[in-house]
Structure formats: structure tokens, C-alpha cells
Amino acid sequence: MTDDLVDRLRRFQQGVFPRYRREYRRLVAEGQHPGTLFIGCSDSRLVPYLLTGSGPGELFIVRNVGNLIPPWDASHGFHGTTAAIEYAVQHLRVRDIVVCGHSHCGAIQALYADPLPDAPHMNRWLDLARDAVLPVTASEDALRRTEQRSIVLQLERLVDYPMVRQRSERGELHLHGWYYVIEDGRVLVLDVANGRFEATDILPPAEGNPSAPNAFQRR
């Protein structure tokens, strides 16, 4: 382990943990009861706790390359993301599920490039976003649109999970699509009614800004 990581651990133990000591002990005694399942990309620039201002016990987090959701599969296999969704919905009884993608996503860029010969597992995993790809060259605008289209694709797949569909139909569970624009520090939220990602702040999108909300059409 590097000295830098050891120093960070010391800072947590000596400076951060004491401020949350009572909360951590309560969470151990009473168990966790997060209200939100956050499904995000593994990208190091996406920090869910900073983004949402959450503290210990508030988010149940699943992260993978590209914030992708596999199709529902009832077989007995090693389904990590599926297992996390299942646990969060059925046992933790979360009220909200957020699927959060972001700008400049390496997984989306990889969809427009040749498969990597030394990464067969990643190439296969990226198939979960391939239907979001546009039949155009990989321009900045196409990449931003594909990132948003992939979020929609994952939400559509999530609704096929029986436990998600059942609780959603009863009004006990709500699904949300977020698009985090890293360079602007802004989150665009999917408005299902008009099929667009809308800004959550009062700043008007700059004219011609590729990170502005775009209507999605996966057809």
C-alpha cells in the first residue's frame, strides 16, 4: 500500500471518523436503512456522496463500467449488479433508484472503437449499451447523446426486473435517470414526459453547448 493511501486512512481515522462516530455506531446497532439505490459508473470523477451531499447510511451504491444493468436473468449464476438491485429493492426496501451516467464516459467512447483484444470481459460487458449507439461517427455531440441514450436503455431494462416492476406499480418505488456533466458540475434529470434530460438548476444551457439537454430517441 502506498504511503499516500496510508496517510489518507490516518486522516479518516483521526479526523473524519470522530465526527461520525455516533452515527456509525447507530448504523451498526440498528442496521442500514438507505432510501436510495445509486447505480453509477466506476469512473473516478463520479463521487456519489459529493454529488448528492449524502452521509453514512443514506445511499446503497452499485458501480460498474458504464453504469450498465444486465437483463433480468433468473438463472443461478454470478450476477453482481443484479444481486445488488435485488437486495436493495426486496430487503432494504429503497424508495428510489437512480441510474447515473456522465459526460466523457470511457465506456461509451469504447463503443465507437474497435474491441480491445486484451479485454474480452469488458468488450462483452459493453454489449449492454450497444443499442444506444448512433449510426454516425463518434463526434462530441454523438458521444453526449449516446451517454444519455444509454441511461434510458438501462432504465428500460431495470423495469423488467420483477421486484422493481411490482413495487413501481404499487407506487412504492421510483426510478430516476441522471446525467452528470462533469465539466459543469451539473446534473440533468430525465423528464419521462417529454423524453429529455432537463437541468436541475436555474442556469440556462449555453447555446450550442453539447452538454445541454437532448431529446432521446433510441429508434
Q: Which of 41, 100, 145, 149 is catalytic?
A: 41
- Residue 4: active-site member: no
Q: Check 102, 144, 149, 167 and give the catalytic one.
A: 102
41 annotated active-site? yes
- Which of the following is catalytic: 43, 100, 144, 145? 43
User: Does residue 179 contact residue 188 with C-beta atoms inside 8 Å?
Assistant: yes
Query: What order of strands is seen across the sheet that includes strand 59-64?
Result: 59-64, 36-41, 96-102, 174-181, 186-191, 196-199
Phi-psi region of 93 (alpha: psi -120 to 50; beta: other; left: phi over 0): left
**Cell numbers at residue 30, please?**
440498528
Active-site residue, 43 included: yes
Catalytic annotation, pick one of 100, 105, 144, 145: 105
Decide if 100 is catalytic. Answer: no
Q: Which three cell numbers stand for residue 117?
A: 483484444
Residue 121 is among the residues annotated as catalytic for this protein: no
Q: Which member of 45, 124, 174, 218 is catalytic? A: 45
Q: Which residues are catalytic?
A: 41, 43, 45, 102, 105
